[in-house]
Amino acid sequence: MSGGSSSIGRIDWGRFTELISAEKVILATIDDEYFRGALVVFVRSFLLRPTYVLFLRPWACFLKAPLFKSFALRLIFILLRRLPRSKVLSIVPHTLNPQLKRVTNDWIYDPQMWDLWVNGTPCLPDSGLSDRVIREKIDRKVLVFIGKGNDSKQFSLLADLATECYRKLLIVVAGKVDVKFRDHADRMREVGMIVESRYVTDEEVLSLYKVADYSWCCYSPKYDQASGVFGRSIQTGVMPIVRRGSVISQFGFSYLDVDDLLKNLEKIESKDVCYDESVLNYQLSTITSRMILDVCNKLDLGNYR
């Protein structure tokens, strides 16, 4: 989309000099290497070279613990946002957390809410896992749980939902389940759920959005942050199940909470498993195009399409 080249990996000396010498840099991984990433921005600002920083976890600057780390991060990003020729961008709207204005210049939509649409209508793959879902769903609706099964993602609540709604809902777990939740996973299998407690490929993950009606984004208050699963659901027309009052519930997109799901299982029609351009309706295209245009404007990428 930017027309430039990508550089992936840790910022060693070779990559550091590469980033310093580039005409323009969009730094999307500063959360992985705060100090080295900040150093790149400072040096490029001194050389008057434009740098754009995507800050994926800006709330880390305001955590109460560890206090010293959050204070240090806050100081670093207060300085970064004031540097000439640099711009720090949050993926959380400032309207949801006004404090973020202290450490970021502006915000953009999370790339996982629009990236599949950059080159037009996305074509989601099939996989052995998605084929199994189609075979076993029968007349049930499908809820996909993607990622690690743990406390942060309220796996025990998901297991309770499975035992309560197994006649109407097929839950598909795609990701490694923590040891403490093995009994929950076994209980889910016993009532006909699909639990793949293993590494799941990107192709398998995308194929699940093709056959899903709902996605699990109902995370713990301690894990209140932007979600890739939520973003992918927005892009593919899958209804996210979220915790009411969470950050992602305030992004302005349609969602259900668990109580809504229980009330509406009988009412909401299951999506046709045949996923093609007719399913990707005009509304999805309009929403994602609007996001991409906004990102292009804020990253000074020129015209889109």
Low-confidence ranges of the chain (pLDDT < 50): 270-277, 279-280, 304-305
Residue 34 lies inside a defined structural domain of this protein: yes
Same domain, 139 and 263: yes
Residue 161 lies inside a defined structural domain of this protein: yes
Residue 3: the pLDDT is 58
Residue 300 lies inside a defined structural domain of this protein: no
Same domain, 252 and 144: yes
Residue 274: the pLDDT is 43
Same domain, 61 and 185: no
Residue 40 lies inside a defined structural domain of this protein: yes
Same domain, 33 and 85: yes
Same domain, 264 and 172: yes
- Give the domain-ending residue among 107, 142, 159: 107
Same domain, 97 and 198: no
Residue 5: the pLDDT is 66
Same domain, 91 and 155: no
pLDDT tens figures, 178-198: 999 999 999 999 999 999 999
Same domain, 142 and 188: yes
Residue 198 lies inside a defined structural domain of this protein: yes
Which pTM does this prediction carry? 0.85
- Structural domains in the chain (count): 2
| Residue 215 belongs to domain with CATH number | 3.40.50.2000
Residue 303: the pLDDT is 56
Residue 272: the pLDDT is 45
Residue 278 lies inside a defined structural domain of this protein: no
Distance between CA atoms of residues 218 and 137, nearest Å: 22
Residue 273: the pLDDT is 43
Output the six-digit token pair for 27. 């730094």
| Domain assignment of residue 246, given as a range | 128-271
- Give the domain-ending residue among 107, 137, 155: 107
Same domain, 177 and 246: yes
Same domain, 267 and 134: yes
Same domain, 142 and 262: yes
Same domain, 158 and 257: yes
Residue 298 lies inside a defined structural domain of this protein: no
Distance between CA atoms of residues 29 and 53, nearest Å: 8
Residue 119 lies inside a defined structural domain of this protein: no
- Give the domain-ending residue among 107, 137, 171: 107
Residue 206: the pLDDT is 96
Residue 162: the pLDDT is 96
